[in-house]
Structure 1
């Protein structure tokens, strides 16, 4: 019979724990790819023809749109986006397709347009403050600015006016 020592079994356990930690650590650095929105099938999109199809046939072929234009039902939009992120970083768009189906007033397809990621506007906020109109007050002005204003007239307090009107105490 073969006997195992305590040292060899504990070594195997430590090796298994070490390998598990290595695998879990490496999996945190993998790229995550996600798809958002409509899954565009090129064959189905190419089958929609201006002058031939109408709203009902487009809905039957492509399905309901991602959204419809706000000013009348002239345009239908199908939005598809591929995103990529590394571990816990913010996801970034890698590919985007916006399919716009335009209809004429009779409900027939007038045109089918595609727009890509190059049409996306990149907005960069200006600094870390939002410009506002009004007074420019510091933190101390906000905290201590109302000292002495308690009961002042016009500030919602009981302000020192006399009651000389025609009320029960005023005559």
Structure 2
């Protein structure tokens, strides 16, 4: 009579070992950092086409596109921003690279200068801020509400 061929203890340990190795590889693969780019900086060959003192706002937009942001005043400039953000496991995303191309214009709307800034030129500046900070510090609502009551006189209250 023949012996039945089954998995046996050796086969069970082999399967368990493969399962543990597979789980370990999946866990290690999940811990690799991911990098994402946001924004747009025109390529250098496109920037070479812009001539300070000659090109205007319209010609800049035709050559390299509409900027991601512009200055508060119309004459202040165009800003093209590209950021590289590192995402790693449970940690907060971290900005690891940022490049800002600033194109300034004179009063007539002609290109004055092209300057590129990176993280090495300063600290990371948040480009959008969703919370407005007040200058009041820790003054509570009630204190703000009643803070001016002592400054009123009877003449001001009754109009005398």
Q: Please indicate the TM-score interval, normalised by the length of the shorter structure.
A: 0.5 to 0.7
Q: Deviations over 1:60-118 (max 9, x none)?
A: 22111111111224311000111223322122222211111112222221111111113
TM-score normalised to structure 1 length: 0.62
Greater RCO, CA 8 A, separation 6+:
2
Q: Deviations over 1:11-67 (max 9, x none)?
A: 454344223201111012212211111144122223322012212221122111111
Task: Tell me the residue number matched to 1:81.
Answer: 83
Contact 1:81 1:97 (C-alpha < 8 Å) held by counterparts:
yes
TM-score normalised to structure 2 length: 0.66
Contact 1:40 1:80 (C-alpha < 8 Å) held by counterparts:
no
Q: CA RMSD in A?
A: 2.8
| 1:119 is aligned to 2:125 | no
Q: How many pairs align? A: 129
Q: Deviations over 1:141-169 (max 9, x none)?
A: xxxxxxxxxxxxxxxxxxxxxxxxxxxxx
SS in 1 for 2:67: coil
| 1:133 is aligned to 2:135 | no
Q: 1:17 to 1:31 in 2, by over 3 A?
A: same
Task: Tell me the residue number matched to 1:48.
Answer: 50
CA distance in 2, matches of 1:109, 1:122: 25
Task: Tell me the residue number matched to 1:5.
Answer: 6
In structure 2, the gaps of 5 or more residues are 127-135, 144-160
SS in 1 for 2:48: helix
- What does residue range 1-171 of structure 1 map to in structure 2 within 5 Å? 4-7=5-8, 10-117=12-119, 118-120=121-123, 131-134=137-140
* Higher helix proportion: 2
